[in-house]
Structure 1
């Protein structure tokens, strides 16, 4: 097994490495801010929990709606790099607004712009990975990109913790410093990526959102879209996990480190999970990932002490490592090359359509009934999604 893993690692295409390091730098920037944002909203700007849910839900829904258009446009043009650079650039340009915010409305504008950039870049970026990678290595390629991405997500909360401690909990200074790695990511992407559009992309100028084009997407693909929708109806913003950690007794200074633990587990598991999906099949691993999520959310519902919170964040990271890259590889296996951007766009639209009501539901349930019911409902949705995959096993 060790030799096989090494060979896969060496054969990962150049574009996947570049995209991975771009994601690493971007996540250092974003997660430094996001790990502190719920506490900043509540403790500095005086926002309520329901407001946090509204901001997070609108932001994530915005990203997902735009993914479908950028993905389809990248298919139509046969050019993905320009859209990816544009999306990363927008996210970087709006980040100073977090430091300048004087009310929750400013945070909403900043989050909207940040997620707008994400919405533009993600589908073309995910399609770039599939364009550059042979079918039998896509699990490994997506897993490696996710691992590098998550190393950045690991370093972001660590930077937030360190900078908060050094600055005497100066949220605004930390937000300013977080802009720097975002700028570096845009430069690396612009200089390092090689466009690898296939012949099918270059020859086809048909509209990817036309009914005939969408009809060519397989039944298996649409099942995956529905499953992703079901799962994400219970997958509220990580802001609620951070608030739960604070509720159980973890101090404001230590709260960002919970995301560090989560992302360490995520980064260590994503690449091995991708390799396993190449060798053993993707659906089985995805079911395991969803079931693990259901158990973790049940744990958050009934957690009573800080050490249990740390363990649950680690298991949540393992769920992400098993599920995220494997789902992307599974989608890329089930769609034509010329419609990859569109397919990833629709998948992310389904996720976004679910995330707004999911975050609003979580905020409303928490406000009315407390955190226990909030996490139990999330667990139930994950269980339903896992059962839907099992009953429609198409591998």
Structure 2
């Protein structure tokens, strides 16, 4: 492994602790909403949709501010601060509206920091290669998820599965959240401001727009692939116990941890476009395994979800680093579109599930992801290597 800049390493540890906190929340949040708060699957879909959509404007705005005014680290620090305080507050909620509001607050933090953080990583990539650097960062990111999931598993095993236990776990997430905030505030160096930007009118270049067009298939794919909340409720539906569900997330995050840097190396060698072809295939397989409605296939589905997640995210982030001129703005647009299409997909899946049943929702996901994977293979233009 070539030497990774120490700022990228520190950002990796920030993501490690922040994602540790998230992993202590995400596997049990759908169960909390549906079984503890007694809300329907449509309400769960609304929570997921609101949480992803609400960050739309900030993702665009933070990327634009980073490029236009050279403000980067303050946005990253502010974003991590919002996320650190929002997760514990879920422990005091008693309705889906409260959960939706706090998840939206947490997503605001993610929206504020995502594009500037990727801009910092791209800046500090230097000669290592963007694929390897993003792969390394994602490895620590996913390592935090894995650690948080194992902590969650231990807490559920030792304390039980009661509503009060789940609320206590939400409160505990304050500790890793503050650890990540401390590191980014005091151990990550801001990137230098770009000169000469001032009175010129800002606009996306031809290369920026071309990079965004290359991401269209990914955005459309998000309309169909299940959010992890729906993966959780499918697991409950096939009889997997609540205390075991964190192990499913261990499978997903473990696969990502083991393959993230390797995918980064392959991205640098054969291009992000070809890696995306594999990612879409993995996503379609994950949906197909869910559709089979068996415990064994659900475990395998989580593994393929991990492959889809890590391969697609690393490839898209590296693609932007390679092709875009105003990378902060393009990262902002990318994450905004992910939020928009992810929210729409979660809303549609939740409504189909609630009003037409789980079989219809699973069929929707399988048909859509299979179609998009096939279209990308035929028309995605990935053979040029990007």
TM (normalized to structure 1)? 0.91
Q: CA deviation at 1:260?
A: 1.3
Give the corresponding residue for 1:333. 322
Matches of 2:118 and 2:56 in 1, distance apart? 14
Out of 58, 63, 66, the position equivalent to 1:66 is: 58
Label 1:378 to 1:264 Cα distance change in 2 as closer, same or farther (>3 A).
Answer: same
Matches of 1:115 and 1:37 in 2, distance apart? 15
Out of 9, 12, 21, the position equivalent to 1:17 is: 9
Out of 184, 188, 191, the position equivalent to 1:193 is: 188
Whether 2:354 is the aligned partner of 1:382: answer no
Give the corresponding residue for 1:83. 75
Matches of 2:199 and 2:142 in 1, distance apart? 36
- Does structure 1 retain, via aligned residues, the 8 Å contact 2:285–2:301? no
Residue correspondence of structure 1 range 1-395 to structure 2 within 5 A: 6=1, 8=2, 11-134=3-126, 137-169=129-161, 170-197=165-192, 201-205=194-198, 210=202, 213-304=203-294, 306-336=295-325, 339-386=326-373, 387-388=375-376, 390-391=378-379, 392-393=381-382, 394=384, 395=386
Q: CA deviation at 1:189?
A: 0.4
Matches of 1:207 and 1:186 in 2, distance apart? 35
Q: CA deviation at 1:273?
A: 0.4
Matches of 2:301 and 2:173 in 1, distance apart? 27
Matches of 1:90 and 1:260 in 2, distance apart? 26
Q: Secondary structure at the match of 2:179?
A: helix
Unaligned runs of 5+ in 1: 1-5
Label 1:138 to 1:206 Cα distance change in 2 as closer, same or farther (>3 A).
Answer: farther
Matches of 1:385 and 1:307 in 2, distance apart? 26
Q: CA deviation at 1:168?
A: 2.4
Q: Secondary structure at the match of 2:55?
A: helix
Q: CA deviation at 1:377?
A: 2.4
Q: CA deviation at 1:62?
A: 1.4
Q: CA deviation at 1:20?
A: 0.8
Label 1:127 to 1:46 Cα distance change in 2 as closer, same or farther (>3 A).
Answer: same
Label 1:48 to 1:134 Cα distance change in 2 as closer, same or farther (>3 A).
Answer: same
Q: CA deviation at 1:203?
A: 2.6
Aligned residues: 379
| Segment of structure 1 superposing worse, 98-107 or 19-28 | 98-107
| Segment of structure 1 superposing worse, 144-153 or 181-190 | 144-153
- Does structure 1 retain, via aligned residues, the 8 Å contact 2:235–2:298? yes
Q: CA deviation at 1:385?
A: 3.9
Q: Secondary structure at the match of 1:73?
A: helix
Q: Secondary structure at the match of 2:54?
A: helix
Label 1:375 to 1:16 Cα distance change in 2 as closer, same or farther (>3 A).
Answer: farther
Matches of 1:186 and 1:308 in 2, distance apart? 38
Deviations 1:338-367 (A, max 9, x none): x11100011111111111220111011112
Q: CA deviation at 1:389?
A: 6.3
Deviations 1:310-335 (A, max 9, x none): 12211211222222111100111110
Q: Secondary structure at the match of 2:192?
A: coil
Over the residues paired in the alignment, what is the CA RMSD in angstroms? 1.8
Matches of 2:25 and 2:332 in 1, distance apart? 26
Deviations 1:225-273 (A, max 9, x none): 3222211111342100000001011001111221111111011111100
Label 1:204 to 1:349 Cα distance change in 2 as closer, same or farther (>3 A).
Answer: same
Matches of 2:14 and 2:358 in 1, distance apart? 36
- Does structure 2 retain, via aligned residues, the 8 Å contact 1:283–1:389? no
